[in-house]
Amino acid sequence: MKKKEKILETIELLKSTSQFISDTRSSLCSPYGLTHTQAVILLDIFHHPNETKITDICKRLHKTTNTISPLIKRMEEKGYLCKKQNQEDNRVFEVFFTENGKNMMDSINADVVHFATPLFEQLTDSEFENLYESLFKLNQVCDIV
């Protein structure tokens, strides 16, 4: 197979993997009453605990504040998040997990590990290492890490 054909095939593989991850995230978060986008927001806050300004979240997720703010408000109402005004700039709001939100994220993360571990255990150590290194490199090239 020529490189151009492999590139096209790789794009298709990434699309199907991305859809699988998206569907899995939705199914793992639905018992908590979360939509796909709400789950993505919570995961973003979880993975960036020191950068929780709403504007930071919007930039990372490539969404507007008009999209993210109402979703954050709904998660506040569910008791998962709290929003606080920044001490230095009253126009800026930061978002934090409540105790209930932290507990929920611990449960979701445990669910993810429980789901993913059997998948990765089907790979040999060498295959897993190659996958890890390839994904890490792809994230570097995409300027994600």
pLDDT in tens, 89-131: 888 899 999 999 999 999 998 999 999 999 999 999 999 999 9
Statement: residue 63 has pLDDT above 80? yes
Domain ranges of the chain: 3-141
End-to-end CA distance of the chain: 30
**pTM, to two decimals:** 0.79
| DSSP per residue, 30-98 | GGGT--HHHHHHHHHHHH-TT--BHHHHHHHHT--HHHHHHHHHHHHHTTSEEEEE-SS-TT-EEEEE-
The whole-angstrom separation of Cα 58 and Cα 41 is 9
**3-141: CATH architecture:** Orthogonal Bundle (1.10)
